[in-house]
Amino acid sequence: NRKIIMDCDPGHDDAIALIIAGAKSSSLDILAVTTVAGNQSVDKNTRNALNVLDIMNRGDIPVSTGADRPLIKEAAFAESIHGESGLDGPQLPKVPNLKDTNEHGVNVIIDQVLQSNEPITLVATGPLTNIAMALIQEPKIADNIQEIVIMGGGTFGNWTPTAEFNIWVDAESAKKVFKSGIPVVVFGLDVTHQLFADDAVINRFNKIDNKVSDFVVELLKFFKSTYKEQFDMDGGPIHDACTILYLLNPEIFTLQNTYIQIETDSALTYGTMSVDLNNTYQKEPNAKFATEVDVDLAWDIMEQALRSYQ
């Protein structure tokens, strides 16, 4: 089994990523979940992660709270998309049944990577603050990271016309990660917007009828409502889940090797990802960038994961 650490800010789509990764049918071994400020404050994101793992019956996966703000910038949250709790929609306990480890998420990433006798894959579905901090604090971890699989960026934006939320929240950290030399796989808006959970998808999952699938249906309904309000779209793209779908079934994605840079200096385009798909710079690629997904297969894999909770 491939060993992963999930660094996240749950978040509706982060929650779905966790659920697929931790399903009975999954071939992934989740060593740790670390949380970061992003969709909501880091404490709310931790609470959400604990509640989601509880619903999954995966209290065996440790959760640790990481950075409460970006490296340089002030924190900024995505309340308009994920609500005041960061996971609005389903009724969840204010005080989760599970507890976090009380260790700092950045230290957990460092310790897990250094301790492991096989390379670790980092899955990042929030701002990249924890991963950048871990690389700054202990550069040696780079040698034992197989890949960093990221949801973020794209050739267009959703938070500004050109910047995607995760990268925009902490572009300095993102820049650090893309300059690290560690293999990076990127699921940006170009591909995540191909996987819309519209009514047809929601109805399909509604038929599965177990505790976890019912929870996912509630998440998707709320997500759909805010995407309608904010972007006039008829379903929420399940962005973060692409990272896990890729780790489970890489062949359903089309990836292009390319050179990616992150803008940090411009007020207008702060957090913009420059993706050199046409090889304008003739630079050695530093990332794989997903351009396409087989939509039908993706929903099939997701359904299979949800069914395995029965």
Q: Which residues bind ligand BDR (CB under 6 A)?
A: 11, 13-14, 39, 78, 81, 125-126, 151, 158, 164-166, 239-240
- Specify the stretch interacting with Ca ion by CB under 5 A; choose among 5-13, 69-77, 81-89, 180-188: 5-13
Residues 156, 179: Cα–Cα separation, whole Å:
21
Smallest distance from the beta carbon of 125 to ligand BDR, in angstroms?
Answer: 5
Pure H helices in the chain:
12-21, 42-55, 79-82, 105-115, 129-137, 165-169, 171-178, 189-192, 199-206, 211-231, 241-248, 295-307
Which of the listed partners (Ca ion, ligand BDR, none) does 88 bind, with a CB threshold of 5 to 8 Å by partner kind?
none
* Cβ count near 252 (within 10 Å): 18
- 126: contact with Ca ion by CB under 5 A: yes
Return the residue of 3, 4, 6, 14 that touches Ca ion, per CB under 5 A: 14
- 22: contact with Ca ion by CB under 5 A: no
Is 288 in contact with 184 (CB distance < 8 Å)? yes
> Between residues 14 and 263, which has the closer beta carbon with respect to ligand BDR?
14
- 105: contact with Ca ion by CB under 5 A: no
Which of the listed partners (Ca ion, ligand BDR, none) does 158 bind, with a CB threshold of 5 to 8 Å by partner kind?
ligand BDR
Smallest distance from the beta carbon of 79 to ligand BDR, in angstroms?
Answer: 10
Show Cβ contacts of residue 64 under 8 Å, excluding neighbours closer than 6 positions.
Answer: 32, 33, 34, 35, 100, 101, 102, 103, 104, 105, 107, 108
Residues 301, 131: Cα–Cα separation, whole Å:
28
Which of the listed partners (Ca ion, ligand BDR, none) does 7 bind, with a CB threshold of 5 to 8 Å by partner kind?
none
Residues 303, 33: Cα–Cα separation, whole Å:
23
Which of the listed partners (ligand BDR, Ca ion, none) does 81 bind, with a CB threshold of 5 to 8 Å by partner kind?
ligand BDR
Q: How far is CA 48 from the centre of its chain?
A: 14
Active site residue 104: no
* Cβ count near 267 (within 10 Å): 5
Smallest distance from the beta carbon of 232 to Ca ion, in angstroms?
Answer: 21
Residues 42, 48: Cα–Cα separation, whole Å:
10
Smallest distance from the beta carbon of 154 to ligand BDR, in angstroms?
Answer: 8
Active-site residue numbers?
239
- Residue ranges binding Ca ion (CB under 5 A): 9, 11, 14, 125-126, 240
